[in-house]
Each structure stands twice: as structure tokens, then as C-alpha cells.
Structure 1
Amino acid sequence: MKPAFRFRAVLAAVVAAAALLASAGLPQIAKAEPPPISSHAVASSVIDVASGRIVFQERGDEQLRIASLTKVMTAIVAIEHGTLTDTVKVGPAAYGKEGSSIYLHLGEEMTLHNMLYGLMLRSGNDAATAIAEHVGGSVEGFVYLMNEKARALGMKNSSFKNPHGLDDEGHYSSANDMAVLTAYALKNKTFQEIVKTKVKSAPNPNEDWDYRWINKNKMLNMYEGADGVKTGYTTLARRTLISSATRGGQQFAVVTLNDGDDWNDHKRLLDYAFKHYPSTSIVKSGERVQSPNLVVARSFDYPLAQGEIGELRKKIVLEDQTTTDFRLGLRGKLELYLKGERIASLPLFEDGSPRYKAQEQAAFQFAKFEQGQRRASFADVFRTLLKAVFTGETKEG
């Protein structure tokens, strides 16, 4: 059979299968809703970090004061826009800033990296101000970057007026927005390392001893697998807290705003999330879909409550045959829906095609990089992709 006729036959089979997939879903399991749970917080949110799924929330979109949880945004903006080895000089606006402090001296110099530890472990408002002036050119310039990042992340119920979180008219966020921000920040390795650190020492040019900062986040010592992130308090915001924990490769983050029993609430909410929303393998890379020639390009896991797997629906969307992607092997997308909401769109390739081989090779390069087996870089992966696209070859040279 000629290739064109063979593909048309496969295409017809896929179209017919897509109609079945849209209604059939996965094997049905009896529905069992997780038991109700609540907290003492005015607002709360629990998010699965990898997928971004919010598995629990109460008044999650309400605009509230967040106190020093603000510094999660300050840290990630500084990491992304600054240079960690830069020297930050403490100016008059930072020196003696009211509220929590790491007691920086006027004119003192410290690397941005070390100052970020003082910011996140001890919640230094002086550090926040010094960082903002250095990275943004001014506090106002840095606040602009904070709000730009909020917009980029879809944080529709957030407005930042300062880098430290002291009470300021028009400075607010929501539990859900802060959950989204935290999930984003926890994917940054520098941020990860800082917020899980229990004790940090840094050079102190004004004394005979080093700075020694003990993390204020008690969850790091109270909860198995805890690995972040930030405490907060002001007179108007009251107690605010974000915590995160990882167990069995799955990470959740919890946000509570105005919660007088936050440590206990966070332990309960994390327990609830790990018990009732385990990460579930939905599709595996290389899995064949409705045809021996069509394969899924990447794996997809998602946190599902018991019974939700029966509510998943699959849909195949075919690629336009006139595109370059089609000529290189892309045949469409496998879309996954939960309760009517699309949760994933995964590329479908013809097995053995240049694009599929390139995807496999790129994934292999990243795996070796993560395991430290060789110095695979983004350049390596990019060269592999270009080679596959223009020559169809995927072997390393």
C-alpha cells in the first residue's frame, strides 16, 4: 500500500476513534468525593505544584492583605531579573526599614544571593527594599516588575505596592493567586533551595561573626517532607502562611490568609491533599493511541481524587495535513478533559517520524542532564531538534 493511501486509512480510523474517545473516557470507577475539610483561615488554597491544580479552596479569590507572603513575589522577580553574584549596597531607604529586619547597616554590601536568604528566612524588610532598589533601579521600578509578573501568571486578584508586604492601601492578593505564584516559584531551583533551608550563614562585614539566619517557617521541622516557603504577619493582615511539602515525588503548597491556627491547619490540609489527591499516571510517553502508528509524545500525570478517573475524557484533534509539522510527523493532539475542563493537550506523532525521534532524543538529553551523567545543555537539545527537523537524523555526533 502506498504511503499516502496508508495514511488516509489510518486517518479514517483515527477520526472514527476520536468520536468514541470523546464520549467513552477511561474505565468507570464508582465516584467517591473526598470528605469535607475546612480551616480557621479567612481564605485558603491548596495546589498541586506540578500540575497547578487547586484541589481545595475556601474564599480563594477574595482580595485580602497578605503581609510578608509578598516576598515570594519579591524573591522570584529578583532571581529572574537580577544576577545572584551581584553586590547589593544598602541605601537610606533600606537601612532601618520598619518591621522585621536582618539589621543591615547603611552602605553595607552583600551578594544578591545571600540577601535573598535574609529576605526569605528572616523576612527582612530592609533586605526587600535593598533588593528592590538594586534589581529594579528603584522601589517603584521593582514594583512594576512584580505587577507585570502577576499579570503574566494570570493573578487577577492581586496588586502589589511594595516589595516587603507592610500594610499599604491597594496592596493585596488572594489565596488562589498566591498558590499559583508559589507553584510557579517552586519550579525555580534557586528559589527551591532558599526556601527549604533551615539555617543559613553569611559574611558580616561589620562584626567579628557571620550572620546566622534561622528560618521562621516552623513547618520545616513540624511536617514530614516540608520544603518551604514563607511566613507573614502585620496588624491588619494578621497571620499569613504558605507551606509546601513533597512526598513520593508529589509536592503540594498550602496558602492561608488571616489564620490564627495556621501551623495545625497546614498540617491538616497537606495530609488531606496527599491522601485524597495522589498523582495519577494518565498517559505514558510512547503510548499508542487508536492506531499502531500514532504515539503520545510525553507522559502526563495529574492529581485525581478517587472516582475522578472515571470522569476523564479523551479527544483527538487532527493536524492540518498542509503544515510543516505534519510533514515531519506530527499527526495531531490528544486532549484530556476532566469535568468538562481541558487539563492537557499532548502531541501525537507518527511512530519513527523525525519530530518524534527528536522529542525522544531531547527527553533523553534532559534526563542525562538531571542525573549529572554529562553536561547536556539547552544548546545540545536545540542542536538535536534542528538536526531532526532538517535531516531526519537524531544520533549524537
Structure 2
Amino acid sequence: MNKMIKNVVIVFACLISTFAIFSLKKSDTAFADNGSAEIVMELNSKRVLYAKNETVRKFMASTTKILTAITVIENFDVNSLVTVTKETVGVEGSSIYLEAGEVLTVKDLLFGLMLRSGNDCAETLAVYCSGSIENFACLMNETARKIGAVNSHFVNPHGLHNDGHFTTAYDLALISCYAMKNDIFREIVSTKTVEIPFSTRNYNRRLVNKNKMLKEFEGSTGIKTGFTKKAGRCLVSSCRRNGMELISVVLNCPPMFERSKELLADCFNEYSYEKILEADDIIDFVEIKDSDKKCAIYVKNDIYLPLTKMEKKNFSVVYDYPDKLVPPLEKDETVGTIKIYYENNLLFSEKVYNIVEVN
């Protein structure tokens, strides 16, 4: 998209975002006390395996940068060159010590953002991509809403404290699951060390990832640490074992690494990753109204679920689709759902599609 057109769209989005935050009721913005918030979520199904205070609004410090990074990656060319301006150097807090006049790629800056938590990288990316911190924050909010993180609001790209900048453990897990499905994002946050240019010097910067989980916890794949005095210690972690990838979020948790390891280990011990349906499996052949023909309906993707031993023995699959399909239908329109239950608890639902056009 043309950058000027994109910035016009961002300004419009900003107006909507501003209206949304100021229309919140006072009770809607209430924060919990200084207790922690925690969640473990399976990356693909989004099933919550463990949670505490997961819907309470909390400050999240530099875990903000998860949304910053995926917003940049999805909207801008990571290979484009960025000239650092004097306005975005010397930013408070963690930094890779950018200098005005340096030229780096967007991807270089993303490494600085996610491995070293560079607040200068955050502001440089925001201004380059959207013209201002405010405009970029609006784009972040648009991205968050698209993901389903509706109980969050972002006013900056780095997470330095602002009373209007908050999320929930649940929302942050959703954002993290979404981001980890992007190959560029995943590459960056799983990198332990990398060298990027220091174009005003005769040597490179060597960036070492602050996320100790990558070295200390088997199967770790990312993603971001954070700390401010108001937010406390925050950590989003991802780990893959036996085909199942889990996202854990701990907010305001002093032993953030130890607690994350404990939560992930417990969930890996309790749950196994089970295949329920295979991609392109035919569910049924359904009659077409006013026709003697039938149309196959199917699921597009493999359906895997984390299940406990008890759930594996007793889960049920409920299909919900019409007796007859009413034309016209384009190929792959949603015609029903599959719902997976354990006892009376809905564990997961997926859409069912018609396999061919129906006329």
C-alpha cells in the first residue's frame, strides 16, 4: 500500500481508537490490586489450560513490543531502510543506543526491539512506519482489535508507563498466539544472538536475547520480557513439546522465569496434543434445496486439541449444519460448525464449509 494512503488510514483509525477509549466507563478501566495475572494458552486452538486473574486489566511494560513487532511486520516491508532521526534516540529505559543518521533495515530494528527491548528501536519504527507515536499506537489498537484483544489499549510502542496503556493476560496471550504464527516474528523472537550494523562505527552490534527461557527451558521458542515499576516483572513465553506449543503470560510476577517454567511444565504434564479431525475430512454430503444433488461439507484445517487423560476418554463431537443447503453458495462458505465438548463444557469450535460452488 502507498505509504501516504496508509498514513491517512491510520489517522482515521486513530480517531476511532480515541473514541473507543474515552467511551469506556470508569468501572471498565478498574485495575486489580498488586497481585499477579497468569495464563497458559495453546497456540492453535487458543484453549486456556490455566488462568488466574486473566481478564483483569494490568500494565504490561515491554511485552507491549509483541504487538509493536507484529504490527510493523504485517504492514511494512522488513527489508526497507530506515534512517534514524534525532527525535528517536536517547529514549528513556532500555536501548541499543541508536545514533541519529544511522541507517538500518526494519528487520534490524525489530531484532533490537525484541532481543534487547530497545525503546529507541520502538520509537524509530513507530515514526518511520506511521509518522508519529500517536498514529502508530492507533495502528496497534486496530491490530489488537482484529486479533480479538478487546480489553486492551495501547498509547505507545514500548510500554513505558501510561495510565491509558494496559492489557489483560488473556488479551496478551491472544496477541502472542497470533504473532507466533508469523514466520518473521517467530524467527526474531527465537534468536538467541544476532549481529546488526552499527553504521556510524566500524563494527557491528552484537545483540543477546534477554529471554533466559530460550537457554534454560527445553523447547522454548520465544518471546518477550518486560519490567517497569508500575507493571512489575512481566514475561510472555512460548514452548513446544511433542507437537504442542503453549503460550504462558505472567504479569506483575517477581519470579517471572521460575513461575513461567512451573506453569508450562505443569500444563505439558497434564495435557497431550490429540488429533480430532484431519484437514479436508468430509463431514457429510448434504442435500441441495430444489435439486437431486448433494454437496460435500468439510473442515479446512487439521483440528488438534490439548486434552487431559480423562477428556480423551470422554469428549464428544457435535455437528451443527442444515438439512439442506440453499443456493447460491460460493465455494468455501461457512455452512455450519463442529463443536467439541467435555461433559457440558465447550472446548473448541470450528467452521464447516461447502467443498464446491452450489447453484
Tell me the TM-score normalised to structure 2 length: 0.81
Contact 1:284 1:296 in 2 (8 A): no
Report SS of the residue matched to 2:254. coil
Q: Name the structure 2 match of 1:360.
A: none
Give the Cα–Cα distance (whole angstroms) in 2 for the partners of residues 106 and 329 of structure 1: 51
Q: Name the structure 2 match of 1:302.
A: 305
Please point out which of 300, 310, 316 is paired with 1:312: 316
How is 1:26-45 mapped onto 2 (pairs within 5 angstroms)? Answer: 42-45=36-39
Larger gyration radius, structure 1 or structure 2: 1
- Per-residue Cα deviation, 1:96-128 (whole angstroms, up to 9, x for no partner): 001000000012211001110000000000000
Q: Name the structure 2 match of 1:337.
A: 340
Report SS of the residue matched to 1:155. coil
Please point out which of 138, 142, 148 is paired with 2:136: 142
Contact 2:283 2:299 in 1 (8 A): no
Give the Cα–Cα distance (whole angstroms) in 2 for the partners of residues 246 and 112 of structure 1: 28
Give the Cα–Cα distance (whole angstroms) in 1 for the partners of residues 70 and 349 of structure 2: 26
Structure 2 unaligned spans of 5+ = 1-33, 287-293
Q: Name the structure 2 match of 1:196.
A: 190
Contact 1:119 1:128 in 2 (8 A): yes
Q: Name the structure 2 match of 1:35.
A: none
Q: Name the structure 1 match of 2:326.
A: 322
Mark the CA change 1:163 to 1:203 in structure 2 (over 3 Å): closer, same or farther: same
Q: CA deviation at 1:244?
A: 0.5
Report SS of the residue matched to 1:324. coil
Contact 2:151 2:171 in 1 (8 A): yes
The code of the aligned residue for 1:224 comes to E
Q: Name the structure 1 match of 2:174.
A: 180
Q: CA deviation at 1:291?
A: 7.5
How is 1:1-397 mapped onto 2 (pairs within 5 angstroms)? Answer: 42-285=36-279, 287=281, 289=283, 296-298=298-300, 299-309=302-312, 310-318=314-322, 320-325=324-329, 333-338=336-341, 339-341=344-346, 343-347=348-352, 355=356
Give the Cα–Cα distance (whole angstroms) in 2 for the partners of residues 155 and 52 of structure 1: 13
Tell me the TM-score normalised to structure 1 length: 0.73
Which structure is higher in RCO with an 8 Å CA cutoff and minimum separation 6? 1
Q: CA deviation at 1:288?
A: 5.8
Contact 2:113 2:121 in 1 (8 A): yes
Report SS of the residue matched to 1:56. strand
Q: CA deviation at 1:311?
A: 3.8
Contact 1:96 1:103 in 2 (8 A): yes
Q: Name the structure 2 match of 1:382.
A: none
Contact 2:47 2:347 in 1 (8 A): no
Which portions of structure 1, spanning 4 or more consecutive aligned residues, are displaced by more than 6 angstroms? 290-293, 328-331
Give the Cα–Cα distance (whole angstroms) in 2 for the partners of residues 329 and 222 of structure 1: 44
Q: CA deviation at 1:41?
A: 6.5
RMSD of Structure 2 on Structure 1 (CA): 2.5
Q: CA deviation at 1:221?
A: 0.3
Contact 2:242 2:273 in 1 (8 A): no
The code of the aligned residue for 1:140 comes to E
Report SS of the residue matched to 1:44. strand
Structure 1 unaligned spans of 5+ = 1-39, 356-388, 391-397
Report SS of the residue matched to 1:307. helix
Give the Cα–Cα distance (whole angstroms) in 2 for the partners of residues 221 and 191 of structure 1: 19
Mark the CA change 1:103 to 1:316 in structure 2 (over 3 Å): closer, same or farther: same
- Percent sequence identity over matched residues? 34
Q: CA deviation at 1:287?
A: 4.8
- More strand per residue: 2
Give the Cα–Cα distance (whole angstroms) in 2 for the partners of residues 87 and 296 of structure 1: 45
Q: CA deviation at 1:344?
A: 2.3
- More helix per residue: 1
Give the Cα–Cα distance (whole angstroms) in 2 for the partners of residues 296 and 321 of structure 1: 14
Q: Name the structure 1 match of 2:7.
A: none
Contact 1:286 1:295 in 2 (8 A): no
Give the Cα–Cα distance (whole angstroms) in 2 for the partners of residues 319 and 65 of structure 1: 49
- Per-residue Cα deviation, 1:289-312 (whole angstroms, up to 9, x for no partner): 577996744431111222224243
